[in-house]
Amino acid sequence: MNAPPVIDVQGLVKRYGKLTAVDGLDLRVSPGSIYGLLGPDGAGKTTTLRCLVGSIGFQGGTVTVAGHDLQRETERVRALIGYMPQRFALYPDLTLDENLEFFADLYQVSRQDRAERVPRLMAFTRLAGHNQKLARQLSGGMKQKLALCTVLVHRPRVLLLDEPSTGVDPVSRHEFWDILLALKQEGVAILVTTPYMDEAEKCDRVGMMARGRLLVEGTPEELRRSFPYRVLAVTARPLFQARQILASLPAVRTAVLHGDDVHIVVQDPEQAAGEVRAQLAQRGVDVEDVQEIAAGLEDVFVHELVSRGLATPRGAKGGLAGGGH
Ligand SMILES: Nc1ncnc2c1ncn2[C@@H]1O[C@H](COP(=O)(O)OP(=O)(O)OP(=O)(O)O)[C@@H](O)[C@H]1O
Ligand SMILES: [Mg+2]
């Protein structure tokens, strides 16, 4: 992780009129690593990626990719990047092969290179055998894999992937991430946005973005370890009433729905557990269990957002980009 960063973003500022969508962002991604960018809707994730690939201009800061300044050497930088936008457009009435051909033409990949590269990508993503299918006949997971192939056909050193697995079934998401992990082993630097915590856990570093800035950043392990509070999982019915009462207790910093439980962030778990049981019981809420759990990335992120008033505590999934498990 000590290699010089392939992506080096310093003080990036992007404004749309009066709105500052990216507000002085610093970001570094090393070769052979995956950086996960998380954040609620409108945090500025897509805008950041679009600035990095040069598809929109920006008002401040510098972006350097493999030592090349984006603004001075835009074309050179673009050639190093594979960019999969949030709504990636494959050609639905072209076959898989034809889609790949199209992108190979676009990136001016030589005949020889594509003859070597395309079958490898198809095998790698386990799409081989489907070459003559039309893109529109593919499942959601296969479409995303084909989209990934099309941005890999020119051997980019940098991948920018904007929610590449949102809405894809869990098995396909897993396969998709196995491909990303293999690309990382080949030395590709990957910057990926995701609403899924299990994917964030697979990243070497993660950054939590809100209102155009990074709120917290580090390895998943660092973020969990540096969390200064403790987490209790409260199982109680009715659930929504329990959350509301918990949120009002002085010992509780945040109370967020998490599946069928309420996760509460507290300073002193023993004292808080006693207070929680007593207060809920007193107000007619049935308490099944109160148990300390290790803080997960989701607890860390949601606490950051909720405690700063940047998300509603309606649940961790809603608090981030609206994804689920
Ligand atoms: N072309 C545009 N013109 C004006 N405002 C824009 C434009 N694109 C994005 N924005 C605004 O910039 C902010 C950041 O948007 P962006 O799409 O980067 O967020 P995001 O983090 O990708 O959100 P999501 O999780 O919903 O994809 C939002 O307030 C959005 O409304
Ligand atoms: Mg987006």
Q: Is 2 exposed, middle or buried (0-12, 13-18, 19+ CB in 10 A)?
A: exposed
Task: Give CATH 3.40.50.300 domain extents, the chain.
Answer: 7-219
Tens digits of residue pLDDT in 173-186: 999 999 999 999 99
pLDDT at site 316:
42
Give the closest residue (by CA) to ligand 1 atom 11.
Answer: 21
Pick among 3.30.1330.10, 3.40.50.720, 3.40.50.300, 3.40.605.10: CATH of 7-219: 3.40.50.300
Whether the CB of 207 sits within 6 Å of ligand 1: no
Task: Please state the atom number of ligand 1 nearest to the C-alpha of residue 209.
Answer: 21
Whether the CB of 55 sits within 6 Å of ligand 1: no
Phi, psi dihedral angles at 304 (to 5 degrees): -55, -45
Assign residue 268 a region: left if phi > 0, alpha if psi is -120 to 50, beta otherwise?
beta
Relative orientation angle of helices 96-106 and 140-152, to the nearest 10 degrees: 30
pLDDT at site 50:
97
Contact 229, 253 (CB under 8 A): yes
Q: Which CATH architecture does the domain made up of 227-319 adopt?
A: 2-Layer Sandwich (3.30)
Ligand nearest to the CA of 195: 1
Task: Please state the atom number of ligand 1 nearest to the C-alpha of residue 322.
Answer: 25
Backbone CA torsion sign across 83, 122, 188, 111 = negative
Whether the CB of 45 sits within 6 Å of ligand 1: yes
Whether the CB of 322 sits within 6 Å of ligand 1: no
Residues of the chain with pLDDT under 50: 316-325
Whether the CB of 210 sits within 6 Å of ligand 1: no
Task: Give CATH 3.30.70.920 domain extents, the chain.
Answer: 227-319
Contact 157, 6 (CB under 8 A): yes
Contact 203, 37 (CB under 8 A): no
DSSP element (H, E) containing 208: strand 205-210
Relative orientation angle of helices 111-124 and 96-106, to the nearest 10 degrees: 130
Calculate how far, in angstroms, residue 234's C-alpha sits from the geometric centre of ligand 2: 33
Tens digits of residue pLDDT in 60-112: 999 999 999 999 999 999 999 999 999 888 999 999 999 999 999 999 999 99
Q: Rounded to whole angstroms, what are the CA distances from 85 to 50, 107, 152?
A: 8, 16, 14
Closest among 96, 166, 90, 181 to 130, alpha carbons compared: 96
